[in-house]
Structure 1
Amino acid sequence: MRTTKDRIRHTLGFEVIGLLIFAPLASWVFGFDLHLMGVMAVVGSIIATLWNYVYNLLFDHAMLRLRGDVRKTVPLRVFHALLFEGGLLLLFMPMIAWYLGITLWEAFMMDIAMATFYLIYAFVYNLIYDQVFPIPQPTRAVQK
């Protein structure tokens, strides 16, 4: 299992490297100033982090009330992920449209592109991270 220090390194690395890749790439793809894309990416990261906390708290309370249990089946995990992304889209899309002075449709397309980038990036980042910082082998207590 990873240590707290390792989890902090993982999270900070993920956010910093993601922003360093995403902002210039988005600036180039969408034709906006790098500064605008950088601010949008940082704000998006903060919104996603706060939404993640609130959403999971609400979802767990709803599951306890409706099912009496917070353990998720595979279909529930898919529903959980889709609902999370839908909520994030509703929270972030108007901010993108306002900040960049674009239509909601354009903001929707940009938000989908951002979500796709981070989905692929998270997969690649975690593969590389696990190679550079392997998970330590668990130590088992000796049975007497």
Structure 2
Amino acid sequence: MTKPQIVTRSGWDRIRYAVIFEVLLIIGFGAALAGLSDSNLLRTGVLAVVLSIIAMIVSVIYNYLFDQVDVRFGRIPTKRALPGRVAHAVGFEFLLVLTSLPIIMWWMSWSFWRALTFDLVAMACVIVYTFLFTLAYDRAFPVAQQD
């Protein structure tokens, strides 16, 4: 008996996910950073856009690879269980810290520790956002499976 073919998201669907995710996050991140720092909204907004572009590229690649791991283990990615959703969100955010920390330090003229503290707090908030957004997205845009 063969296992049924598991259908995953298309490339365009992954791009739609990343764009919606990032647009909502840019608005919140830019405003929050301006409110928490001595910088104006334009400066923090530009930083948010730069980090967003990096995050969108990483997101498309990361989500594709994570889905492939699910498929390899016979799981349907859009029906990921709670532990898988938590692993997905946490893994993605830790990967982003590695790419965003040097940029935040340079752009904001912050020390390593100040930037790291900010990045870790932001990461904790974004982990929750990622979990909730992905859950809502999977319910709003389910991937039809073959019977």
| TM-score after normalising by structure 1 | 0.61
Q: Which amino acid aligns with 1:38?
A: G
Q: Which amino acid aligns with 2:46?
A: V
Distance 1:136 1:99, change over 3 A: closer
- 1:102 alignment partner in structure 2: 110
Which shifted more, 21-30 or 87-96? 87-96
- SS of the equivalent of 1:41 reads helix
- Residue 34, structure 1, aligned to residue 41, structure 2: yes
| Structure 2 counterpart of 1:24 | 31
* Structure-2 change in CA distance of 1:37 and 1:8 (3 Å): same
With the length of structure 2 as denominator, give the TM-score of the two structures.
0.60
Shift of 1:54: 8.9
After superposing the two structures, state which structure 1 stretch, 90-99 or 35-44, moved more.
90-99
- The answer for unaligned runs of 5 or more in structure 2 is 1-6, 63-71, 74-82
| 1:102 match: secondary structure | coil
Once the two structures are overlaid, the 10-residue window that deviates more, 112-121 or 29-38, is 29-38
Aligned residue runs from structure 1 range 5-24, under 5 A? 5-24=12-31
Change (3 A) 1:115 1:139: same
Residue 27 of structure 1 contacts residue 33 of structure 1 at CA under 8 Å; is this kept in 2? yes
Asked if 2 retains the 8 angstrom alpha-carbon contact of 1:52 and 1:84, the reply is no
How far apart are residue 82 of structure 1 and its match? Answer: 5.9
Alignment partners' CA distance in 2, 1:121 and 1:127: 10
Higher alpha-carbon Rg = 1
Secondary structure at the aligned position of 2:53 is classed as helix
Q: In 2, are the aligned partners of 1:24 and 1:34 still within 8 Å (CA)?
A: yes
Secondary structure of the equivalent of 2:44? Answer: helix
CA RMSD for the aligned pairs?
3.4
Of residues 121, 124, 130 in structure 2, which corresponds to 1:116? 124
- Runs of 4 or more off by more than 4 Å in structure 1? 49-55, 81-84
